[in-house]
Structure 1
Amino acid sequence: MSKPVPVPFSEPPWLMGLPSAYYNHSHKKWQKTCRALVDRLLMPEGGEWERAGDVPLDLYSKFADANFLIPNLSSPLPVKWLHKVGIKELPGGLKVEDFDYLHTLIYTDEMARVGSLGPTGAITTGIAFGVPPILKFGSHELQEKFIPDLLLGKKRICIAITEPEAGSDVSNIATTATRSKDGKHFIVNGTKKWITNGLWSHYASMAVRTGGPGPGGLSMLVVPLLSTPGVSMRRIRVGGQTAAGTTFIELDDVKVPVENLIGQEGMGMKYGKTKLHNLGNPSLFLASFLSSCPVYMLDVKLNLPVMQNFNHERLTIAISVNRLSRVALSSAFAYCLKREAFSKTLMDQPVVRHRLAKCGADLEAHWAWIENYTYMMTKMSEEDASRELGGLTALAKAQAGRVIETCASTAMLLFGGNGEVPGARIPGGSEDVMLDLAVRQLVKNFQRKTKELETEIEGPAGSSKL
């Protein structure tokens, strides 16, 4: 059976049959593998899950059983640890040591085809941002304690930075961790807000205040959550990713073993004296993330001290948002081919084609940018990518927001205002119809008045009136 012709803008150019210099046989095989798994695990009911505000309890385990959680970690993957827990291949036979950033791009793009950040965020955000601090900066004993179960999906983790009074300004974190009298535990008190996946997490990589005010008093702990005395959690419903399990966490005298400290205690003020090549020092990791903590949706995530991790976070956001924009734009494109108004399809209206074209230009330019940066990351060392691509990937992430705003607004408008703000632009006549009507009316009035003026100047036949 022949495949249907894809709607324009529904796929990146390389998946529309156009040649690309970026993707090899491994990438093409991986794309087919990812598509098949996403089609099976997410696409059938993902939209309904987001509308309902939750995902099935066994969704995470299904991804774990397929080794389909691991691609959320940045490239190169933690090969030694993966081999140690028995994971040598990803779905489709891709060896973990062969996984590169183009595989990351493909995985992220395919996951976002569901058209919402909720269902995908429910299974990706925690492992993507909660595990790296332990892998990068945790002691060998700390890794032995947590990493095997986290990689195998037997346990879940989240990243817990944001608080009601500390969002992007992480130095205002007020959650305290004081040592017990016997020195065996930290006693943690405070609140965390906008914590994605918190509801389901056994642990959190959590920023806490172990010292005085400011960033220099902050440390990171692996804090137990589920079934832990003193921990209470409740869901926060947020627009755009309700099913992702965004959580408000309260901590009341929660006992955390001192061995759960990630890296060294309270080294946040060292960043200003740290050069790039020193950023891998575990004692300085807090300083680095404090220096640059961008907001990812409604949750501030940990930025690791090697800029490659900055790149990973921002790049995956840009990829996901580009695909969401693509879903919106291609859906509107298909609708405009069928929907009729004034005895012709919307696509026959020049103003509609103009709107779609402008969105398509922004979308594909952004995608080309993403592909280019991703390819660079496959060819550069971590140090070089850290130095050269940090700012550029930040721009790509920022541009993603501009692209989705344009594409989503246009799509909602063309669908008849099925959205909050565009909904106000439809009653009394859709915006495009009103714009066209206004100009035609202005032209008509101009032509009428011009003709009247010419008649008045010329006067009746035979008259000498000027």
Structure 2
Amino acid sequence: MGLSVSKLLSTLFGKKEMRILMVGLDAAGKTTILYKLKLGEIVTTIPTIGFNVETVEYKNISFTVWDVGGQDKIRPLWRHYFQNTQGIIFVVDSNDRDRVTEAREELQRMLNEDELRDAHLLVFANKQDLPNAMNAAEITDKLGLHSLRQRTWYIQATCATSGDGLYEGLEWLSNNLKNKIPFQENKLQTTIPKEIIYDVSKFINIHPGGASVFFDDDIAGQDATEQFFNLHRLDVLEKPQYKRLIIGQIENEKPVIKFPQPGDLSEVPYGEPSWLSQAYHSPYYKESHKALQNWMRKFVDTVITPDALAREKDGKRCSDGVVEKMAQYEINAMRLGPGKHLHGRTLAEGIVKPEEFDYLHELVINQELVRHGQRGYGDGLLAGMVIGLPPVLNFGSDELKARIIPQVLSGEKFISLAISEAFAGSDVANLRTTAVKSQDGKHWIINGTKKWITNGTFSDYFSVGCKTEGGLTMILVERTEGVSTEQIKTSYSTTAGTAYITFDDVKVPVENTLGPEDGGLLVILSNFNHERFVMATASTRSIRFVVEECFKWANQRKVFGKTLLGQPVIRYKLAGMVAKAESLQAWLEYVGYQMTKMTYKEQSKHLAGPIALLKMQCTRVENSVADDAVQIFGGRAITQTGMGRNIEMFNRTYKFNSLLGGSEGEKEYLHTRDADARQKFWMPKSARL
């Protein structure tokens, strides 16, 4: 029959003991079937009155078939063989039309027994070689099999003398029974990684990928490292529910898999910026930058990443405990960049002095903060504060700053920037939200709406751009009567708190005005360079994160007999991705360094265009890197869980960076306008080829 029963059982039953009960009316062909299936290795035949039993051992498999006599006087004894039976083979003489009703009654009576409640049923419609034999469909109807809705059953047309259909039926039975194999004293063990032994006996029946994979010859009892990492990420093995499956370690076996520890640098080529490698040197970074990077890496690995993964799933905002720890170590304050607001604070347990903190320190913080890979959570982690608090910090009254800034930096209160509307985005001069002075001149009365406001759903304060009588005015609005927020569903998760905000006759003290009345455009534009610089730092690091993921996958995924990394077309894609990531990092560090050497006014004059162009280039590179990563990961890149989850997340959310802080087209215009203003495009009359 091609595939021997011995091999079939050793492969599909996974080297376990199976108890099968074969019954049917007398003369149905049970004994003929039993001996046709005899496995031919170590066979013990125990003939006795009323039943035959064949027990075959093959590679520690014990497959036992009980052939119980079918005479009417013996049938009452069938129940004595029901205990511990996993499968039933009911044999029907397809040519015996006179007794098919009797066969049905016996089958139904047997299936009503509690001990067979969970047993799978295989019906052999035997003797199909006879001319008057009923076919499988007719037998199904005669036996009433369609009424067995609570039982797994299958009917197979067979001929015991030739063996036709026997192996097909047996294979169906084995495929269904292997998910119900009882694990008692025997243990199904495997090693993942090579030196660690796991007992998966209690896990196999709840394995999301099914039980069958555990019975492959190259997994059960074997080193399954390669097979495991073809299907699972390393962090699966670090989960407590799977660590409990470890039962030992192979002595003197050298580990082949390194579990990363908090603070570790990536060992993957181009997985880190070159300045973090001992082999390279940078003119930009000092020891305080390196110390801050190491401290932030540990903080992100231990505090932020676990919360990011959890909140990305449930859609809730970042946990209070995370916000409190960020405030404790003054991370919130450092994210606003260098300045007087840092004076008197202990930054990251004293690693860097407030007066020495510069834009490259901020670059380090921002690049570490995005390494968790959860885009929605990244914005939910107080991105609204980074852009919403500077108007208060730089333009608020002393009283307002004294009250608001400590609350926000401590994590007690949240703030967001509310500029964009359904009517206007980058074109802030056309905002429609209005602010009108009350008759006594002591309050602003605000009406209008804002849209796509990051952190808006949970903010306590809003820095709002309003249209006033003489132009545009920025006003700090507290969440009070007349202010309502509604969640907007976007491409990333609701943990970002993206909101639609309605202001309905909101009464705000004029003391909450930020900057000069009708001079709000200056306030809005004042932080654009910093906002776009922050976004460029995050984009650049996210791109490198994707490159690292692609290198790991290409190194462990095998196709056509070798790894993806061994395929020239994949190496070409990776080379292009690396070149783009490295060039962006170099440009970013150059811009960051220039920021450390310029005053605010000098930055506004000389860096507005370059920063805008840098951010635009970041988002264009994200587009191409996302495309290449999807092709490298294949179907896993469009699956929200598993090996390609980070690629799916990146591919679904990278467009946010091309819109937030101004669209790409607006950046191109800003750069060329800025360059023209500085006469960079002015050509001397004497210039000739």
> For the superposition of Structure 1 and Structure 2, which TM-score range results when normalised by the shorter chain?
0.7 to 0.9
The answer to whether the 8 Å contact 1:328/1:411 transfers is yes
Which residue among 74, 80, 99 is the counterpart of 2:337?
Answer: 74
The answer to whether residue 328 in structure 2 is matched with residue 65 in structure 1 is: yes
Deviations 1:357-395 (A, max 9, x none): 011111101111111111122223333333222211111
- 1:220 matched to which residue of 2? 474
How high is the sequence identity, in percent, across the aligned residues?
41
Residue matched to 2:499: 247
Shift of 1:349: 0.8
Are 1:366 and 2:584 matched, yes or no? yes
CA-to-aligned-CA distance 1:199-228 (integer Å, 9 cap, x gap): 1211111011221xxxx5221110012xx1
1:387 aligns to 2:605 (yes or no)? yes
* Pairing 1:331–2:589 present: no
* Partner residue, 1:34: 296
Aligned to 2:314: 52
SS at match of 2:425: coil
**Alpha-carbon distance in structure 1 between the residues aligned to 2:529 and 2:446:** 31
CA contact (8 A) 1:186 1:257 kept: yes
* Segment of structure 1 superposing worse, 43-52 or 356-365: 43-52
SS in 2 for 1:223: strand
How much does 1:419 deviate?
A: 4.7
Deviations 1:150-173 (A, max 9, x none): 232222211100111111221221
* In structure 1, distance between residues paired with 2:289 and 2:556: 35
Distance 1:335 1:375, change over 3 A: same
The equivalent residue for 1:115 is: 373
Q: Structure 1, residues 330-369: CA drift from partner, whole Å, max 9, x if none?
A: 1011101111111111111101100110111111011111
* From 387, 390, 406, the counterpart of 1:148: 406
Separation (CA, whole Å) in 2 of partners of 1:340 and 1:123: 38
**Deviations, residues 90-146 of structure 1 (Å, cap 9, x unaligned):** 434322222101101100100011113322221231221111112212222322332
Q: What 5-or-longer segments of structure 2 have no aligned partner?
A: 1-257, 640-689
**What is residue 402 of structure 1 aligned with on the other side?**
620
Matched, 1:357 2:580: no
Q: Secondary structure at the match of 1:252?
A: strand
Letter of the 1:390 counterpart: A
Q: What's the counterpart of residue 487 of structure 2? A: 235
- Shift in CA distance, 114/92, structure 1 to aligned 2, threshold 3 Å: farther
* Residue 220 to residue 22, structure 1, CA distance change in 2 (3 Å): same
Shift, 1:231, TM fit: 1.4
Residue 250 of structure 1 aligns with an amino acid whose one-letter code is: T
Q: Distance in 2 between matches of 1:65 and 1:400?
A: 32
Q: Which residue of 1 aligns with 2:521?
A: 287
Instruction: Report the equivalent of 2:197.
Output: none
Corresponding residue of 1:303: 525
* Distance in 1 between residues matched to 2:355 and 2:593, nearest whole Å: 17
Whether the aligned pair in 2 keeps the contact of 1:6 and 1:16 (CA below 8 Å) is no
- Structure 1 counterpart of 2:476, one-letter code: V
Query: Do the aligned partners of 1:318 and 1:397 also contact (CA within 8 Å) in 2?
Result: yes
Match of 1:25 in 2: 287
Question: 1:447: which partner in 2?
Answer: none
Aligned-partner residue type, residue 123 of structure 1: L
Instruction: Tell me if the contact between 2:276 and 2:290 (Cα under 8 Å) persists in the aligned partners.
Output: no
Query: Whole-Å Cα distance in 1 between the matches of residues 545 and 498 of structure 2?
Result: 24
Tell me, in whole angstroms, the C-alpha distance in 2 between the residues paired with 1:419 and 1:338: 16
Structure 2 residue 266 is matched with structure 1 residue 8: no
Letter matched to residue 31 of structure 1? Q
**In the alignment, does 2:437 pair up with 1:197?**
no
Alpha carbons 1:175, 1:191 under 8 Å: kept:
yes
Q: CA RMSD for the aligned pairs?
A: 2.2
Is 1:376 the counterpart of 2:594? The answer is yes
**Residue identity opposite 2:603 in structure 1:** A
Deviations 1:423-451 (A, max 9, x none): xxxxxxxxxxxxxxxxxxxxxxxxxxxxx
Q: 1:384 to 1:251 in 2, by over 3 A?
A: closer
Residues in 1 aligned to 2:446 and 2:550: alpha-carbon distance in whole angstroms: 50
TM-score, scaled to structure 2: 0.52
Q: Distance in 1 between matches of 2:411 and 2:310?
A: 24
Which string of whole-angstrom CA distances, capped at 9 and with x for unpartnered residues, describes residues 216-262 of structure 1?
Answer: 5221110012xx11111111122246421111111111111111111
**Alignment correspondent of 1:166:** 424
CA contact 2:308–2:318 (8 Å) conserved in 1: no
Alignment partners' CA distance in 2, 1:4 and 1:117:
21
SS in 2 for 1:191: strand
Q: Distance in 2 between matches of 1:88 and 1:5?
A: 29
SS at match of 1:218: strand
TM-aligned CA distance change 1:417 to 1:133, over 3 Å: same
Corresponding residue to 2:517 among 265, 269, 273: 265
In structure 1, C-alpha distance between the alignment counterparts of 2:620 and 2:309, rounded to whole Å: 23
For residue 64 of structure 1, what is the amino acid of its counterpart? Answer: A
Q: Once the 2 structures are TM-superposed, how far is the Cα of residue 40 of structure 1 from its aligned partner?
A: 1.7
Equivalent residues, number = 376
Please name the residue that 1:277 is paired with.
none
For the 8 Å contact 1:155–1:201, the answer to whether it is kept is: yes
Q: 1:116 to 1:4 in 2, by over 3 A?
A: closer
**1:341-352, aligned counterparts within 5 Å?**
341-352=559-570
Would the alpha carbon gap of residues 36 and 137 (structure 1) be closer, same or farther in structure 2, given more than 3 Å must change? same
Q: Please list every run of at least 4 consecutive aligned residues from structure 1 whose deviation after the TM superposition is greater than 6 angstroms.
A: 1-5
Query: Using the alignment, how far apart are the partners of 1:420 and 1:207 within structure 2?
Result: 38
What SS does the corresponding residue of 1:42 show, helix, strand or coil?
helix
Counterpart of 1:352, as a letter, is I
Match of 2:129 in 1: none
Point out the structure with the larger helix share: 1
- What SS is found at the alignment partner of 1:44? helix
